Amino acid sequence: MLTLRVLTKIDPEKRLEFLQAMRTFRQLSKGDKHSLYNSVDEEDLYCLLMDWDGQKQLDEYLGSSRFQFFSGAASVLGRIVNAEIITAGEVTPIPNLMS
C-alpha cells in the first residue's frame, strides 16, 4: 500500500479562498479516497492523505487534473511544505480501538 501525504501551509488572509477551493476539489474528486485534515495546533496547516494499492494508480493520479487543482491551489494560496509517498508492506488494524 502507498500513501500520498501532502502538507500545505496556507496564507492566513487566503484561508477562506483555500477552503472554497477545497470544496471544489472535493466535488472534482468524488470517488477518490482522500482525506484533508486541518491541524489543531496551526489552523493554516492542512494535510492531504490518500491511500493507493499500486504505483501505477498513484502515478496516474499525480498526473491528473484533480491533483493539479489541489497542488495549484495550495501553491497559489500558500505553499507546499512537504510532499511524500509512504510505502507500507503491511498494515495491521487495531480492532479494539474501533467501535
Burial of 46 (0-12, 13-18, 19+ CB in 10 A): buried
More confident residue, 91 or 44: 44
Q: Residue 37: count other Cβ atoms within 10 Å of its Cβ.
A: 11
- The one-letter amino acid code at 93 reads P
Closest CA to 15 of 81, 73, 82, 65: 73
Task: Please give the class, per CATH, of domain 2-88.
Answer: alpha beta
Q: For the chain, which residues make up each domain, given as ranges? A: 2-88
The predicted model scores a pTM of: 0.86
Q: What are 7-51's pLDDT values in tens digits?
A: 999 999 999 999 999 999 989 888 788 899 999 999 999 999 999
68 pLDDT higher than 90: yes
